[in-house]
């Protein structure tokens, strides 16, 4: 993820000092991407809203633990990710699938993948078909363009595993989009 630029860092510094206007600016900046990430993971609108709210409250309470202002976004997504994990545990569902750490061709920008209007539904369908760990890294990559290290930090997963999951997820998506492109319905 590109680090929070100077304009975005300023609210973090002010928020640390207790400026509610700064908190409002920060939350406004991240509310929709964070919600998209959470709702695509938990697939429940109300649960996603609850998680976003709890993440905001936790951010206010624990902002003292944030080491670098520039990493506020990743830190906030990490809080939300932990709450998603708690939510999954509550629902007693399987959290992780283990993938061999083999792929190393990560490096495409998320914007390299372009989706035509007629492919949008298929894209969302395929995204929802992915196992949660792959969906998680793909969403973090797409929504906020987090780096592998950032995603690894957010999901508390080794960077190699993140690369692998991202590789397989993007490969699946590309395959689908190419198939649709070659054989338009």
Partner 1 sequence: MKTPRELLLARHQAATPKLDALRRGVVAGLDPANGRACPGFVARLLTLLWRGLVFPCRRTWTALVAVWVLLVIINVAQREGSSPGPAKSPASVEIMMTYPNQEKILNELLADRSQPMEADRPKTFTPKPRSETSGLTAV
| CB under 8 A, 24+ apart: contacts of 18-24 | 23/60
Name the one residue in this structure whose structure tokens are 């928020």: 15
Least Å distance, CB 100 to partner 1, is 25
Residue 19 sits in the site that holds partner 1 (CB under 8 A):
yes
Q: Which stretch binds partner 1 (CB under 8 A): 16-24, 67-75, 76-84, 128-136?
A: 16-24
**Residue 143 in the binding site for partner 1 (CB under 8 A):** yes
| Residue 42 Cα distances to 49, 51, 58, 122, angstroms | 11, 10, 19, 19
Cβ closest to partner 1, residue 36 vs residue 160: 36
Beta-carbon contacts of residue 59 (< 8 Å; ≥ 6 apart): 75, 76, 79
73/140 Cα distance (integer angstroms): 11
Q: What does the buried/exposed string (b/e) look like for 13-22 if buried means 16 or more CB atoms within 10 Å of the residue's CB?
A: ebbeeeeeeb
According to CB under 8 A, which residues from 77 to 116 bind partner 1? 110-111, 113-116
Burial class of residue 118 (count of CB atoms within 10 Å of its CB; 0-12, 13-18, 19+): exposed
Minimum CB distance to partner 1 smaller for 28 or for 89? 28
List Cβ<8 Å contacts ≥24 apart for 25-30.
26/72, 27/56, 30/73, 30/76
Binding mask 48-67 for partner 1 (x = CB under 8 A): -x--xx--xx--xx------
Say whether residue 126 binds partner 1 (CB under 8 A). no
Shortest distance (Å) from residue 13 CB to partner 1 = 12
Q: Count of residues binding partner 1 (CB under 8 A)?
A: 39
Regarding 168 and contact with partner 1 (CB under 8 A), the answer is no
Least distance (Å) from partner 1 to the CB of residue 92?
26
Interface with partner 1 (CB under 8 A):
15-20, 23-24, 27-28, 31-33, 35-36, 39-40, 45, 49, 52-53, 56-57, 60-61, 110-111, 113-117, 120, 123-124, 139, 142-143, 145
């Amino acid at each position: 993820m590109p680090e929070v630029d100077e304009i975005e860092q300023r609210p973090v510094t002010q928020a640390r000092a207790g400026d509610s206007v700064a908190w409002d600016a920060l939350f406004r900046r991240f509310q929709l991407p964070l919600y998209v990430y959470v709702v695509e993971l938990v697939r429940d609108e109300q649960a996603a809203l609850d998680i976003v709210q709890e993440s905001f409250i936790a951010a206010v309470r624990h902002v003292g633990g944030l080491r670098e202002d520039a990493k506020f976004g990743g830190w906030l997504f990490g809080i939300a990710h932990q709450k998603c994990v708690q939510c999954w545990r509550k629902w007693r569902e399987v959290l992780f699938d283990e993938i061999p750490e083999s792929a190393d061709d990560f490096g495409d920008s998320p914007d390299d993948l372009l989706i035509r209007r007629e492919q949008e539904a298929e894209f969302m369908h395929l995204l929802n078909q992915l196992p949660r760990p792959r969906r998680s890294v793909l969403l973090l990559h797409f929504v906020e363009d987090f780096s592998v290290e950032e995603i690894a930090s957010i999901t508390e997963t080794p960077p190699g595993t993140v690369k692998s999951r991202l590789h397989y997820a993007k490969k699946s998506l590309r395959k689908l989009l190419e198939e649709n492109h070659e054989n338009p319905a």
